């Protein structure tokens, strides 16, 4: 099985046996002021105060425009902050993790965005006292990340209808309608959307199919509490693939129903696989999304970076990780 060499090797060269409690008690909280609006400011401030009372040096760094979170995280890694906390939704988490991959700097999450799937996966709530205790306790794991081109994703990438929906949802629409904005965009696109034939290569093995949605999962959750890939393991050195086949959106409804009900027998209509390297080609461009943000179009190549990112996890992340604690 192919592996992403430089990042994976770099992460393994880090001192994986160092106890978190021995690391300096410094944290940068990168705060997206748009996520969650007024209550976000209060929660960030409350967590910062509680951490300072526990002896932490806390720097709160607000973003002002797209890309700021990545710049601030890069500066935090350069300045040897052992912990960087992304205060926002999954989009903010994705921006923050980009320069942290392979560094050993831990990523924490303060879930205040429109969508907070990573927090749900790892048992992290928005209770300020619990968050401060969680970061102070330093319960950390190594996790795989996926990569397309020069950009990483933590949760899931996809190709097809849902990526077209993500592309259609503007930041303004998200701020106005929250999660409802995705349903509105899906309803608008559903009638005219058509599945397309794709050539899918999993570690070199080629499959051709007509695809409505092709999910590439590092974790289990997608679109709230739905777990279309319930057995995904986030530190197994592979990405899980699930394809909903068909031509029109309505033709995929039985497969979606099987997924939502967890009906194993009916899941046979779906294509499922696992690989460390996934290549997707089509006769025309198909939209791609990563961690809930538009990421261009096909052709696309995804690879896994095994255990390349250190993350803070809560007490209810059982099943997501397969490798024992360090």
Asked if 270 and 300 count as a contact pair (C-beta separation under 8 A), the reply is no
Position 7 confidence tier, pLDDT thresholds 50, 70, 90:
very low
Q: What gap in Å lies between CA 45 and CA 68, rounded to an integer?
A: 20
pLDDT score recorded for residue 316 = 77
Note the residue count of the chain.
326
Measuring CA to CA, how many Å separate 74 from each of 14, 26, 65, 80, 307? 18, 15, 16, 10, 19
Task: Specify the DSSP class assigned to residue 38.
Answer: H
pLDDT score recorded for residue 187 = 84
Q: Is pLDDT of 3 > 90?
A: no
Position 39 confidence tier, pLDDT thresholds 50, 70, 90:
confident
Q: What gap in Å lies between CA 108 and CA 117, rounded to an integer?
A: 13
Q: In this structure, what are the phi and psi dihedrals at residue 313, rounded to the nearest 5 degrees? A: -125, 155
Instruction: Tell me the pLDDT tens digit for each residue of 137-150.
Output: 989 999 999 999 99
Give the dihedral sign, CA 286/291/294/298.
negative
Asked if 70 and 98 count as a contact pair (C-beta separation under 8 A), the reply is yes
Residues 6+ apart with CB under 8 A from 13: none
Where is average pLDDT lowest: 104-108, 179-183, 226-230, 296-300?
179-183
Q: Is pLDDT of 189 > 80?
A: yes
- 248-273 average pLDDT score: 68
Q: What gap in Å lies between CA 102 and CA 285, rounded to an integer?
A: 31
Q: Is pLDDT of 58 > 90?
A: yes
Asked if 174 and 166 count as a contact pair (C-beta separation under 8 A), the reply is no
In the chain, beta strands by DSSP E = 26-31, 57-62, 83-88, 106-111, 140-148, 151-153, 156-160, 196-202, 205-217, 239-245, 271-275, 277-282, 287-290, 293-297, 300-312
* Structural domains present in the chain: 24-137 (3.40.50.10330), 152-304 (2.60.200.40)
Q: Which of 211, 199, 216 is nearest to 274 (CA)?
A: 216
pLDDT score recorded for residue 36 = 54
Instruction: Tell me the pLDDT tens digit for each residue of 12-27.
Output: 434 433 455 567 899 9
């Amino acid at each position: 099985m192919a592996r992403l060499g430089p990042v994976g090797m770099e992460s393994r060269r880090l001192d994986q046996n160092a106890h978190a409690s021995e690391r300096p008690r410094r944290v940068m909280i990168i705060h997206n002021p748009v996520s969650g609006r007024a209550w976000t400011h209060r929660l960030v401030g409350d967590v910062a105060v509680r951490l300072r009372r526990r002896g932490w040096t806390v720097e709160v760094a607000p973003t002002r425009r797209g890309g700021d979170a990545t710049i601030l995280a890069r500066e935090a890694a350069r300045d040897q902050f052992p912990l960087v906390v992304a205060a926002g939704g999954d989009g903010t988490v994705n921006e923050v993790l980009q320069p942290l991959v392979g560094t050993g700097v831990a990523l924490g999450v303060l879930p205040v965005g429109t969508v907070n799937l990573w927090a749900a996966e790892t048992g992290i709530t928005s209770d300020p006292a619990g968050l401060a205790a969680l970061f102070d306790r330093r319960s950390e794991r190594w996790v795989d990340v996926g990569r397309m081109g020069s950009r990483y994703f933590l949760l899931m990438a996809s190709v097809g209808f849902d990526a077209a929906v993500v592309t259609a949802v503007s930041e303004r629409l998200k701020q106005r309608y929250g999660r409802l904005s995705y349903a509105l965009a899906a309803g608008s696109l559903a009638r005219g959307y058509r599945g397309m034939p794709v050539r899918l290569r999993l570690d070199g093995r080629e499959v051709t199919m007509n695809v409505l949605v092709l999910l590439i999962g590092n974790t289990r959750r997608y679109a709230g509490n739905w777990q279309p890939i319930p057995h995904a393991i986030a530190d197994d050195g592979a990405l899980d693939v699930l394809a909903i086949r068909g031509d029109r959106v309505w033709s995929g409804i039985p497969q979606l129903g099987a997924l939502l009900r967890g009906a194993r027998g009916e899941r046979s209509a779906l294509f499922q696989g696992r690989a460390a390297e996934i290549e997707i080609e089509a006769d025309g461009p198909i939209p791609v999304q990563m961690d809930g943000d538009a990421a261009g179009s096909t052709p696309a190549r995804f690879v896994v970076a095994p255990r390349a990112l250190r993350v803070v996890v809560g007490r209810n992340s059982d099943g997501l990780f397969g490798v024992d604690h360090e």
